[in-house]
């Protein structure tokens, strides 16, 4: 009922996020036998919060996002008279330490797909579209994306070449060890091909090379790439909603140069971390993800893999069911 009611006012991508977050509450209900919303009280809310933290293995950031949606759902139930008035206001979101946010932040698949859905519909084959799509699909580092030339892209064969070129100011983090060919699916190739054909600035860099991502002056600077990512990951940009209740006419984060000030905007690295975790949840073997993202299995597990214990169990189950 709640999702049906919100369908008319929420963008499709936002509705998917609400459905995904509330599915976690349904898992709690199934696990605990809770089946009557009229009995929902502060203690049950506390137990749900502890369940997500302990059983789900989620970090504070993810828990805060899920509880935020749950609070909106409880307020809806209040309006129907299904739960006690004022209960939603008692749902406290966990404090998130800024250092933890920077260390563990990643873009969730639902949010990445929401951004892509918006770009596909309203900014097809734009610089923003091609850039974000490539970063999400490949989990490449910022410096690697910066280094790619038009000639490194092979749309017919479906891959990009990555080269360490320190002599022309595009080194790769792991030098020659990071040189590789990365496969691209068909639609990514089509978007990049259309971007090159219609929207790429016809320029070269200071070394006569033709960068894939450009400004009117040459290769798109790394800081410009960061700004683009900050700008398009603001919820108001891709969904038309602000979870912080800011007035778009007054919020300084609506400007391109100040978009990083939006609390919900993210930098480039959380895209890489989220993409790696998404690959693993889609049952891509760790060895394949390691080669694709150019990160050792040990470092991948320690610093990049943000699968919850429940997600890891589901992946194992998918393999064991075939035995």
Final residue of a domain: which of 45, 71, 99?
A: 99
- Whether the Cβ atoms of residue 198 and residue 191 lie closer than 8 Å to each other: no
What residues contact residue 165 under an 8 Å CB cut-off, 6+ apart? 147, 171
Co-location of 53 and 73 in the same domain: yes
Co-location of 194 and 217 in the same domain: yes
CATH of the domain at 161: 1.10.443.10
* Residue-level pLDDT, tens digit, the chain, 323 residues: 888 888 877 766 567 778 888 988 998 999 899 999 999 999 999 999 888 888 766 767 678 878 888 999 999 999 999 999 999 998 988 776 655 544 557 899 999 999 999 999 999 999 999 999 999 999 999 999 999 999 999 999 999 999 999 999 999 999 999 999 999 999 999 999 999 999 999 999 999 999 999 999 999 999 999 999 999 999 999 998 888 888 888 899 999 999 999 988 999 999 999 999 999 888 888 899 999 999 998 888 877 776 777 777 777 776 666 55
- Whether the Cβ atoms of residue 58 and residue 13 lie closer than 8 Å to each other: no
Q: Is residue 284 part of a domain?
A: no
What residues contact residue 161 under an 8 Å CB cut-off, 6+ apart? 152, 154, 179, 180, 181
Reported pTM: 0.69
Beta strands in 201-323 (DSSP E): 214-215, 218-219
Co-location of 161 and 201 in the same domain: yes
Co-location of 80 and 13 in the same domain: yes
Co-location of 50 and 173 in the same domain: no
Sign of CA dihedral 41, 43, 48, 49: positive
What residues contact residue 238 under an 8 Å CB cut-off, 6+ apart? 11, 13, 114, 115, 117, 118, 119, 232
Co-location of 23 and 121 in the same domain: no
pLDDT attached to residue 244: 83
pLDDT attached to residue 9: 73
- Beta sheet of 159-162, edge-to-edge order: 153-154, 159-162, 180-183
pLDDT attached to residue 57: 66
pLDDT attached to residue 102: 47
Co-location of 160 and 44 in the same domain: no
CATH of the domain at 63: 1.10.150.130
Q: Can you give the residue range of the structural domain that contains 27? A: 2-99
What is the domain count for the chain? 2
């Amino acid at each position: 009922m709640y999702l049906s009611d919100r369908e008319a006012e929420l963008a499709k991508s936002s509705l998917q996020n609400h459905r995904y977050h509330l599915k976690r509450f349904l898992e709690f209900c199934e696990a605990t036998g809770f089946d009557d919303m009229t009995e929902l009280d502060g203690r049950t809310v506390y137990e749900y919060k502890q369940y997500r933290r302990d059983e789900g293995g989620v970090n504070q950031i993810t828990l805060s996002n899920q509880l935020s949606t749950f609070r909106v759902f409880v307020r809806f139930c209040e309006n129907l008279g299904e739960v006690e008035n004022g209960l939603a206001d008692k749902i406290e979101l966990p404090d998130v330490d800024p250092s933890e946010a920077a260390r563990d932040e990643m873009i969730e698949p639902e949010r990445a797909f929401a951004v892509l859905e918006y770009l596909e519909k309203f900014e097809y084959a734009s610089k923003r579209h091609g850039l974000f799509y490539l970063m999400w699909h490949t989990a490449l580092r910022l410096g690697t994306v910066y280094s790619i030339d038009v000639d490194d892209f092979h749309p017919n064969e479906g891959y990009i070449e990555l080269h360490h070129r320190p002599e022309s100011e595009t080194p790769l983090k792991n030098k020659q060890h990071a040189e590789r060919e990365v496969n691209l699916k068909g639609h990514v190739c089509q978007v990049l091909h259309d971007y090159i054909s219609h929207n790429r600035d016809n320029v070269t860099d200071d070394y006569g090379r033709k960068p894939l991502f450009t400004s009117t002056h040459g290769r798109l600077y790394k800081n410009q790439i960061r700004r683009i990512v900050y700008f398009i990951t603001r919820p108001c940009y891709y969904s038309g909603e602000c979870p912080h209740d800011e007035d778009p006419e007054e919020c300084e984060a609506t400007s391109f140069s100040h978009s990083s000030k939006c609390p919900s905007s993210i930098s480039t690295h959380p895209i890489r971390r989220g993409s790696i975790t998404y690959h693993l949840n889609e049952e891509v073997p760790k060895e394949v993800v390691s080669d694709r993202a150019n990160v050792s299995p040990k470092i991948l597990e320690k610093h990049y893999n943000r699968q919850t214990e429940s997600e890891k169990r589901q992946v194992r189950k998918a393999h064991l069911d075939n035995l």
